[in-house]
Amino acid sequence: MALNRGRLARSGRLPCGHTIDSLWERVRSGASAVPDEHVARCRHCQTALEGLRALHAATEELAAEEVSAPPGLFDRVMRVVRTEARRGDTVPLVTGPDPASVSTTAVAAVVRFAVDTLPGQRLRARRCRVQAPPGTVDVLDVSVEVLSPSAAEWDETELRRRIAAVVSAHVGVRVRRLELDVVPLEPGEEAR
Amino acid sequence: MADSAADVVDDATLATRAADGDTTAFEMLLRRYSDRVFGLALRMLGDRAEAEDVAQEVFVTAWRRLAELAEPGAVRTWLFRIAHRHCLGVLRRRRDRRTDPVEELPETGGRAVGVGAGGVADPARVAEAGAGVEALRRALGGLPPPQRAVWLLAEVDGLSYAEIAEVVGASEQAVRGRLSRARTRLAEVMRPWR
């Protein structure tokens, strides 16, 4: 196509002064584009519009194609993730001749569950740190960030009791120190 | 409406939890974005096997480095950024392996997407439905990879200029320039398919 290729590719400007980008916006807005006398009569603009219309039609088709990741991808990624997660930090549950421990990640998941499911609320736990105080067994220090809709009213004592109870029931350890960092969420922010 | 919005856990929460080692949260991120990351890689590379390798690399890298993500709400752009970097790496290695000088002409520089290398099809012969989109794939394959990436992110993934700038590590002005050059070039190649 002899459309002043080199010059056009550099500047994106047609010999008549109109830009490819402005014509593209015209094609994209379709029927709602404001009629333009110059564009209607200019052969440079008309030639460019032909290409841009063809590009627009093919682009819509390409964007509408549904591309699905291959089925094996999910399993392969999660296998790596789970293997590496198991190698994380642990805290001791019991000592003695037959010691046992639990991963901090597993305890954090239980803490988040306790926060997320506080009855009647829509709290969301985010960052959660779990540590065993040095030399102790069966006690943990926990800190958790809690996202709360700014208008929500809930009792912090109740949440603390709930976290302690759920951790005790599911992990079998006592929460010694619990740090709650409550972050207020403005309406609409949580759906981001 | 409020209910359905609240039931979908937001990206920032999932990314923060995954950074803490929560595999379930990571699994949800993977489900949410694997098609789009794979799609970008496929359209950048034009090869399913390579695109799958890139997508796998992207998510394994993401899992290992999520803690470094300063803005957890931007996890989507961050995944695209990792994917973009890996795709350019694959294309660079592909180019370095080439010895045939003909294949280094700009028109065939990045292997045509979805078809064999090079080759200009005759619009009159390729008259069946979908010919336009095939021609576009081929034309995309002929763009320099940085232009192809910017064009795909804008037109297929619908990212804003600011997001694209973040993904490709360039200024918004540079993104606009690349996009404009890509559009000009594609319009020229696509004109016979009007």
- Token pair, residue A44, equals 């440079």
* ipTM entry: 0.79
CB A174 within 8 A of CB A168: yes
Confidence of residue B111 (pLDDT cuts 50, 70, 90): very low
- Contact list, A51 vs chain B (CB under 8 Å): 186-191, 194
Q: Give the Cα separation of B76 and B97 in Å (integer).
A: 32
**How much is the pLDDT for B135?**
92
- Token pair, residue B136, equals 């576009």
Q: Which residue has the higher pLDDT, B122 or B107?
A: B122
**How much is the pLDDT for B107?**
38
**How much is the pLDDT for B129?**
53
Q: Give the Cα separation of B137 and B156 in Å (integer).
A: 12
- Token pair, residue B172, equals 């918004």
Residues of chain A with CATH 3.30.70.1350: 90-191
Q: Which residue has the tokens 């305890």?
A: A107
Chain B, 81 to 120: residues with Cβ < 8 Å from chain A are none
In 3D space, the residue among B12, B94, B3 whose CA is nearest the CA of residue B53 turns out to be: B94
Share of chain B above pLDDT 70, in %: 80
> Can you tell me the mean pLDDT for A108-113?
92
pLDDT above 80 for B46: yes
Q: Which residue has the higher pLDDT, A49 or A152?
A: A49
Q: Give the Cα separation of B82 and B36 in Å (integer).
A: 13
The tens digit of pLDDT for each residue in A57-101 reads 999 999 999 999 999 999 999 999 988 887 777 887 776 677 778
Give the number of A-B residue pairs with CB atoms closer than 8 Å.
160
Which of the residue ranges A9-18, A115-124, B165-174 has the most confident prediction, judged by mean pLDDT? B165-174
The tens digit of pLDDT for each residue in A131-186 reads 888 877 788 999 999 999 888 888 999 999 999 999 999 888 899 999 999 988 87
Confidence of residue B191 (pLDDT cuts 50, 70, 90): confident
> Can you tell me the mean pLDDT for B156-162?
95
Please state, rounded to an integer, the average pLDDT across all residues of chain B: 83
Domains for chain B: give ranges and CATH numbers. 7-97 (1.10.1740.10), 110-194 (1.10.10.10)
Secondary structure of residue B40 in the 3-state scheme: helix
CB proximity list for A59: less than 8 A, separation 6 or greater: B136, B155, B156
The helix (run of H) or strand (run of E) holding residue A184 is strand A174-185
Cβ–Cβ of B21/A88 closer than 8 Å? Answer: yes
> Can you tell me the mean pLDDT for B136-143?
93
**How much is the pLDDT for B82?**
96
DSSP 8-class letter at B119: -
Cβ–Cβ of B183/A20 closer than 8 Å? Answer: yes
What chain A residue is nearest to B50 in terms of C-alpha separation? A70
Q: Compute the nearest-CA separation of B116 from chain A (Å).
A: 18
Superfamily covering domain A90-191: Cation efflux protein, cytoplasmic domain (3.30.70.1350)
B78 CB near a chain A CB, below 8 Å? no
Cβ–Cβ of B55/A81 closer than 8 Å? Answer: no
pLDDT above 80 for A11: no
